[in-house]
Chain A
């Protein structure tokens, strides 16, 4: 149950928001000249990363504004929220050790549930 910070209204339950897919996919200006493959890219191709994704959300039940959010899809950790038009912030995230692997912690992976002998304890900084 995400707790999302609307840039205007503050932290709200996910129930108030509508998801708008991957962010920073600009609608091609000169679609006329665009090859079919590139238009298909705009329509359909997505990075769908396991890691940090920039995504669009709309505070549908609140101020009805669209905004962008950085989230780690390997952990669902929300890393940043920023307004449309603002540049994508630099963030550091708890990323998977291997491309298809799981984040060291906070993932849904079944293998990552137990600390390896000698693994550092204590809460995540």
Chain B
């Protein structure tokens, strides 16, 4: 019944799609736990390792992961903590305790961003239609993460390490433009049979 709280992800209206023979598969990963952590790495790394058993990635464009929990390097003093939906609150609390001793910022951005997962043998080729990043296997390796421009939108791309078997790229995209990016990725996949996806439109913009 309507009273019970329900959640909606920004791509609620977009069931997974794929190209022929799974050449390219596109799917939203809703409600994944996401937090921005700002802190001095030198101060934060040990307490976090102790608390989570997970170190902060120091090197640009890298990530560290333990099970479903991962830290993504976003900047020299900025990371994204990514967790399984169910663990979000616990992990955040753990981190907050660990860094409480010194100047930091931990912000829940779980609903700010959603994740579009792009997988399949053509994933790299398709994404190269959106970004000027070099996604050649030699250049963009598992574990790497970085922000870039995708079409006309900024997003963060992350290739989780050791995703056994095939690679599953994850695009972290803001709620309000997730639908645009979804359709853009789909467009990139047209040549491999991904069905056309038309952005939500049809709003009345002019008053008669």
Contact = CB atoms under 8 A, between A and B. Distances in A.
Contact flag (A, B; Cβ within 8 A): yes
Interface of A: 8-10, 12-13, 15-16, 60-65
Nearest to A6: B60
A18 B198 CA distance: 30
Contact of B146 (A9, A13, A60, A65): A9
Contacts of B186: none
B155 to A, nearest CB: 8
Contacts of A13: 132, 149
B60 A12 contact: no
A61 B133 CA distance: 11
Nearest to B155: A61
B154 interface: yes
A107 B152 CA distance: 31
B16 interface: no
Max chain B Cβ within 10 angstroms of own Cβ: one of A12, A16, A61, A65: A61
Interface stretch (B26-34, B72-80, B90-98, B106-114): B72-80
Contacts of B148: 12, 16, 61-62
B139 to A, nearest CB: 10
A16 B149 contact: yes
A16 B148 CA distance: 6
B27 to A, nearest CB: 24
A67 to B, nearest CB: 11
B142 interface: no
Max chain B Cβ within 10 angstroms of own Cβ: one of A15, A60, A62, A65: A62
Contact of A8 (B76, B132, B149): B76
Given A60-B154, A63-B76, A65-B75, A15 B132 contact: yes
A62 B147 contact: yes
B158 to A, nearest CB: 13
Contacts of B149: 13, 15-16, 61
30 contacts: A8-B60, A8-B75, A8-B76, A9-B60, A9-B61, A9-B146, A10-B60, A10-B61, A12-B132, A12-B133, A12-B148, A13-B132, A15-B132, A15-B149, A16-B147, A16-B148, A16-B149, A60-B154, A61-B148, A61-B149, A61-B154, A62-B147, A62-B148, A63-B75, A63-B78, A63-B147, A64-B74, A64-B75, A65-B75, A65-B76
B113 to A, nearest CB: 14
